[in-house]
A = this chain, B = another copy of it.
Amino acid sequence: MQWVKGLGLGLGAAALFALGIILGHFAIPKNASSPAPSTSPSQDLDLEILETILGQLNADRIRENLRELSREPHLASSPRDEALVQLLLQRWRDPESGLDSAEVFEYQVLLSFPSQEQPNSVDVVNSTGDILHTCRRTEENLTGEQGGHDVVPPYAAYAPPGTPQGLLVYANQGTEEDFKKLQTQGIKLEGTIALTRYGGAGRGAKAVNAARHGVIGLLVYTDPADINDGLRLPNETFPNSWHLPPSGVERGSYYEYFGDPLTPYLPASPSSFRLDLANVSGFPPIPTQPIGFQDAKDLLCNLNGSLAPEAWQGALGCDYRLGPGFRPDGDFPADSQVKVSVYNRLEQRNSSNVLGIIHGAVEPDRYVLYGNHRDSWVHGAVDPSSGTAVLLELSRILGTLLKKGTWRPRRSIMFGSWGAEEFGLIGSTEFTEEFFSKLQERTVAYINVDISVFANATLRVQGTPPVQSVVFSAAKEIRSPGSEDLSIYDNWIRYFNRSSPVYGLVPSVGSLGAGSDYAPFIHFLGISSMDIAYTYDRSKTSARIYPTYHTAFDTFGYVDKFVDPGFSSHQAVARTAGSVLLRLSDSFFLPLNVGDYSETLRSFLQAAQQELGTLLEQNNISLGPLVAAVEEFEAAAKALGQHIATLQKGTPDPLQVRMLNDQLMLLERAFLNPRAFPEERYYSHVLWAPRTSSTATFPGLANACSRASNTSPGSEAWAEVQRQLSIVVVALEGAAATLRPVADL
């Protein structure tokens, strides 16, 4: 029981734990379910209750949750997905362990499915049209779990139907640079079918890049070099190890934006305006189909043409050649072509979010959101059910305390189970569109736990700077699974760390892209967000992601045997995320350290100076105003930090703390500018919008510089650089203004 550390109370942890339970039981009135009257406006985080809660998070329960959640495939909008909606409702409405309320929010969204009547197909055909070889249409049923009727065959969601046929080329990862290299090599891409491997570019981007170069059909496969650390033989892969078997295929959405494709910026309610399909942008332009590496080998190892560059070689056990077409001495006649037959269909389907709410006792209008998607590609034991299994255990513990009257958080907690994430973060995006104002005004932070356990080595957190401190606080107080002596923090810092100019060596918190449901919260609403998981020892694997990602092999048995036997990593994530949730919802002073943005801004500025400074100077653009704006922010953040310290020393009035907390909560909003990137749907955060370059700096500035760099001075592109520079300067100045003493401008 010795997993809580550093409380500095001079008590053994076990005694402390027992004390917590006793206090929790007797010291808190049982009528707390009627919030306000019985509570103090100064109600603060109770470390004993926190301990109790974390201590009760049960690995076996998480395991049982996972077994139930991943029992059957639950593709978005499928009957099983709907059944899980009911399961969540039932759990959150349980009289003994439920929340204050739970509700379903249904949307009508545009999804994409393969045809049941006409299976997608990838064939090698000879010059007379005879089929010489057909790729697998389903994954091999290796353990009896992969063969059900509900297992959706591998496909590229939103890829258009079509039956293109042409000579095969190998295009590495399908980046723009990859296709350019093929052209440089004199390979005519018009009318070809391109075989690419996952990684390097987003799914949709591969199709867009390919089409731009005249490619008419796209294949995508997972190379064993990228997922299995090179292993590819049946005895080396699942069910003999956790590695991806040869028939495994990564499904995925190839849509380039997120949210329901027909209703950008509007919730997909029945009456909402929907775009005409002809006006939808972001769908892959050419028929596309993913295949397993067993099939990829049959195609790739028979290719003709020159040897692919060293960096393009993989682990299929042959030399990778570029094509076009097959080599004369291979398995197929040299003039054979590849035919990609795609019969995907767009369908408008009902997809639901389930929301479960705990009403805050003191500040019910402040929300801490905690969510994960519910839909999977197949059984989705890891993705997303490992996260939902944790979510359900956490909500069960909190619900139980709530129903007993032992505890009620200071602020409201909202749990979200999002629908149709796999198709493009659809449920969470529609949620942010429907409740835009309410969420933007009142949400303290969003915690996302999607895949809770990729692997067992270490915590991994992505988030914006204000959440770093609360994650650190949580991680320092929880024992690392499998180690009596190390905290999760201590373990974490061994795997991911950086040297902070302020704090010295600290675990490094990654930045948020658009890989899961946090995207609409941070990019569209400007809510401080984070994603929490356990993951790999990167020194031991170079895998892109866990091997069975988006395949039929991502099952309960896989998790139970290979990913997290004993579920201690799941429990560690539950404790970490639970502690973060409680700290955010219960602390009198919001534990968002907005001052940590200073470090980020300074590093963005330095990167801009180093990487773009010369180019900008050559074009008579000064970074001086940006330097001044960063300094202004730093000064305001520092002064605010001192103000907080002073307040914390005294016995501040709850209104004073509320005013301060509003500053902390709303800082992230000050970085939003919905007019900054009109072409980037939903992306309004001037610090975290997508960057085309790898330099970690201000994205608008970097992207504009990259576009302007080949234009002449005075071009529109250089004007846009100046506009982007002003946008970020004004955002930083505006943000600094919100941190200054509240009655000043």
Which A positions have Cβ atoms within 8 angstroms of B?
36, 41, 100-101, 103, 105, 265-267, 269, 271-273, 276, 355, 357, 359-360, 362-365, 412, 414, 433-438, 441-442, 622, 624-625, 653-656, 658-659, 662-663, 666, 669-670, 674-675, 678, 719, 722-723, 725-727, 729-730, 733-735, 737-738, 741-745
Contacts and interface: CB of A to CB of B under 8 A. Distances in A.
A355 B730 CA distance: 19
A372 to B, nearest CB: 18
Nearest to A724: B273
A653 B36 contact: yes
A735 B435 CA distance: 9
A622 B273 CA distance: 11
A669 B355 CA distance: 25
Nearest to A367: B743
A669 B442 contact: no
A620 to B, nearest CB: 13
Contact of A437 (B271, B273, B738): B738
A364 B743 CA distance: 5
The 8 closest A-B pairs by CB, nearest first: A365-B742, A364-B743, A271-B625, A437-B670, A273-B726, A359-B743, A273-B722, A273-B723
A178 B41 CA distance: 65
A723 B414 CA distance: 30
B653 A719 contact: no
Contacts of A659: 363-365
A723 B362 CA distance: 40
B271 A653 contact: no
Nearest to A440: B669
Given A41-B653, A437-B670, A438-B734, A364 B725 contact: no
Given A441-B666, A735-B437, A273 B743 contact: no
A441 B662 contact: yes
A437 B723 contact: no
Given A738-B441, A745-B355, A745-B357, A730 B669 contact: no
B101 A744 contact: yes
A177 B669 CA distance: 45
A729 B271 contact: yes
A363 B737 CA distance: 17
Contacts of A362: 655
11 contacts: A41-B655, A266-B727, A271-B726, A357-B745, A363-B659, A364-B741, A364-B742, A437-B737, A438-B670, A438-B738, A654-B654
Contacts of A36: 653, 656
A742 B434 contact: no
A476 to B, nearest CB: 31
Nearest to A737: B438
Contacts of A41: 653-655
A267 B359 CA distance: 41
Contacts of A105: 745
Contacts of A437: 666, 669-670, 734-735, 737-738
B654 A655 contact: yes
B738 A412 contact: no
B265 A675 contact: yes
Nearest to A42: B655
Contacts of A654: 41, 654-655
A433 B675 CA distance: 12
A555 to B, nearest CB: 34
Nearest to A274: B722
A734 B655 contact: no
A728 to B, nearest CB: 11
A273 B725 contact: yes
A622 B266 CA distance: 17
Contacts of A656: 36
Nearest to A624: B271
Given A266-B726, A675-B265, A719 B441 contact: no
A131 B176 CA distance: 68
Given A435-B745, A655-B41, A656-B36, A267 B730 contact: yes
A678 B148 CA distance: 50
Given A726-B271, A738-B438, A743 B675 contact: no
Contacts of A359: 743
A365 B662 CA distance: 9
A570 to B, nearest CB: 29
Contacts of A412: 742-743
A363 B719 contact: no
Of A105, A271, A678, A737, most buried by chain B (CB within 10 Å of CB) is: A271
A101 to B, nearest CB: 7
Nearest to A676: B265
Contacts of A722: 273
Contacts of A272: 726, 729-730
A313 to B, nearest CB: 47
Contact of A674 (B271, B675, B741, B744): B675
A730 B433 CA distance: 9
